[in-house]
Amino acid sequence: MTPIRPTIPLDAPGKHHGFLRLPHSRNDSAWGSVMIPITVIRGAEGPTALLTGGNHGDEYEGPVALQQLAWELEPGDVTGRVIILPFMNAPAIRAGTRVSPVDGVNMNRCFPGRADGSVTQKIAHYIDSELVPLADIVLDYHSGGKTLDFLPYAAAHYLDDADQQAACTAAMRAFGAPWSMMMREIDAVGMFDTAVEGRGKTFVTTELGGGGTVTAVSARIAHRGALNLLRHAGILAGSVEGADDSRMLSMPDDDCFHFATGDGMIQPLADLGDMVAEGQPLARIWPVDRTGVAPVTVTAQRGGLVAARHFPGLVQTGDCLAVIADPG
């Protein structure tokens, strides 16, 4: 049984700000807690949307948009209920790190979690077993974080259930990001996506930039996307804005992923959004410990659009250097 207790009611009318409280004994507080902020806004009868950010602690578009929504949405605006978790992996958010500093766990590979597991596993377990069942539609925000950079897109998965896939795809399009991505997940074990889809829910995820920063542009995409999704779900009034401008992308297979074949410093030869041809050089990798040595060159395994890239200047062998997607 989960040790987590919410400090606010999850089903009361009105707007409540509080925490999911997880007791956690640590050297600097024997009777301490991990506190995961939560806001619930309930208006007239209607569906429930669960909006989550901070699955990884160094991705900020979602948390920023959700803090703003938690601040500005009022029960009178809402037909149904909006549950907002801007900081799912609260310890990682405080530390500004992808994985939890408490247990080193990558939250998005530990679902459905464990009630008697580590801190991250306990949070995942609570969200999966207590919050997801309350929802009709789930939006989980991601960005590239400190080490990846993405073209801004909302995404849906190819699913076995055609109706569910259609619902997810429609919601993805409603989000109205500049790009919309259909993905066939190869290694879906442990993902929040998989857990939510497994419960038959409509699910949308995003990648809205990267580098561990937010821009005014990416913040607006994130905020408008949530409003659009809530309008699409009938929870907010009004019609979806700007969704028609979104361009389609797909990542059909493993060849999309390009890995560094050496350690060193990256000299990119193509940027996000550039079209590249098969065999075209994507980047050079230079050593940082000496001069006068030829760089390693990484070339495109396939043609397409550069949709993601390694962000930091330094790279290690085996890091994903770039992803080339199919446009259209």
Decide: is 163 part of the binding site for a copy of itself (CB under 8 A): no
Decide: is 162 part of the binding site for a copy of itself (CB under 8 A): no
**Which residue number, 64 or 159, has a Cβ lying nearer to a copy of itself?**
64
Minimum distance from CB of 37 to a copy of itself (Å)?
A: 5
Minimum distance from CB of 301 to a copy of itself (Å)?
A: 13
Residue 308: both structure tokens together: 């993601």
Decide: is 39 part of the binding site for a copy of itself (CB under 8 A): yes
**Residues touching a copy of itself: how many (CB under 8 A)?**
91
Choice from 82, 83, 88, 93 touching a copy of itself (CB under 8 A)? 93
Decide: is 165 part of the binding site for a copy of itself (CB under 8 A): no
Phi, psi of 62 (to 5 degrees): -65, -55
Alpha-carbon distances, residue 152 vs 88, 146, 244 (angstroms): 21, 15, 15
Alpha-carbon distances, residue 44 vs 14, 83, 213, 229, 232 (angstroms): 10, 14, 36, 18, 17
Whether the CB-CB separation of 127 and 88 falls below 8 Å is answered with: yes
**Which residue number, 57 or 80, has a Cβ lying nearer to a copy of itself?**
57
Decide: is 201 part of the binding site for a copy of itself (CB under 8 A): no
Decide: is 178 part of the binding site for a copy of itself (CB under 8 A): no
Site for a copy of itself in 242-301 (CB under 8 A): 257, 259, 263, 265-271, 274, 284, 286-295
Choice from 2, 33, 164, 299 touching a copy of itself (CB under 8 A)? 33
Site for a copy of itself in 216-235 (CB under 8 A): 216-217, 219
Site for a copy of itself in 105-144 (CB under 8 A): 106, 109, 116, 144
Nearest-10 Cα torsion for 57, 62, 66, 67: 50
Cα 251 to its chain centre, rounded Å, is 17
CA distance 170 to 204: 9
Nearest CA-CA partner of 191 in 132, 253, 234, 262: 132
Minimum distance from CB of 216 to a copy of itself (Å)?
A: 4
SS3 at position 125: helix
Site for a copy of itself in 45-64 (CB under 8 A): 56, 58, 60, 63-64
Minimum distance from CB of 83 to a copy of itself (Å)?
A: 11
Choice from 145, 152, 176, 304 touching a copy of itself (CB under 8 A)? 145
Amino acid (1-letter code) at residue 257? F
Decide: is 237 part of the binding site for a copy of itself (CB under 8 A): no
Q: Residue 312: is the preceding peptide bond cis (ω within 30°)?
A: no
Amino acid (1-letter code) at residue 305? L
